[in-house]
Amino acid sequence: MVLVDDAEILFDAPNAPILERIIVTGRDADHGLILAGTTGDLSRCYTGFVPAALKSRCGLLVTVDTPDDGDLFGVRLPRNAAPGPLGRGLIFRSGRVDPIQLAIEESSEEAVSQVLGYFGRNAMARLAMAYYYQEFILGLAAPQTVPMLNVVIALDLSGEGAVSDYKKLLQGFIWKERGHARDLADFLLANGLLTSADVDEARQVAAENERNGVCAMARQRLQYRPKGS
């Protein structure tokens, strides 16, 4: 079995024809290919081994972002399809879709303790993450993160990269490396590290900053221009 991660990077690589041959010949043999990538990236690969693999209409969605994600496997997901608990996904088999729970490593008590300690020392990091992930925390259908620049303005953070820096630091606490591909929101919510009370507090701070003119000064400082203006 051949495993290919970030398949969209290799779809037109010199060895792409070899990978496609593995798929074609594997249908009647004892070998095959498993590829991984994001739904958006894979859907933009129109030739080569990626669409050849997708013809099977078999695969696994680890996280559902929008109902359109099912289109990759020829299945239209319900409008209320949204991410579930950590490790919850959907498995597709020839047009049929079923929920599946993936085996994941248990949450590290040390990692949870480190995040709690960090949030205790840096309340603004906690509020920034709560404001950024507020739709996930509140359980909205098809949740989206708040644009990072909007978070920076609402909470008067130091600069445009503040939210990204917080995320990288938290990923380092949890997975011992920065920029980890795992879903940070899932971990924070599954371990009770962010709650609706944090969202309420962050929104209160944002509302007060707006009333006091702090947000206006932040927009000026960052030369922020709303879309359509």
Report which residue type is found at 119: F
C-alpha atoms less than 13 angstroms from C-alpha of 181 in its C-beta half-sphere: 7
Say what the pLDDT of residue 181 is: 45
CA distance 52 to 11: 11
DSSP string, 197-212: HHHHHHHHHHHHHHHT
User: In DSSP terms, which residues pair with 89 in a beta bridge?
Assistant: 100
Provide the 3-class DSSP secondary structure of residue 26.
Answer: helix
Report pLDDT digits (tens) over 148-196: 999 999 999 988 789 999 998 898 888 765 544 457 888 898 888 999 9
Q: Angle 95-99-103 (CA atoms, 0-180°, nearest 5)?
A: 125
Better-scored residue on pLDDT, 82 or 178: 82
CA distance 108 to 225: 42
Domains in the chain: boundaries: 2-101, 109-222
Query: Average pLDDT of the chain?
Result: 83
Q: Minimal CA–CA distance to 193: which of 183, 185, 201, 182?
A: 185
Report which residue type is found at 215: C
Strands (E) across the chain are located at 2-4, 33-35, 59-61, 88-93, 96-101
Report pLDDT digits (tens) over 194-223: 999 999 999 999 999 999 999 999 888 887
What is this structure's pTM?
0.53
DSSP string, 146-195: PPHHHHHHHHT-SSTTHHHHHHHHHHHHHHSSTT-SS-HHHHHHHTTSS-
CB 124 within 8 A of CB 130: no
Report which residue type is found at 214: V
Provide the 3-class DSSP secondary structure of residue 23.
Answer: helix
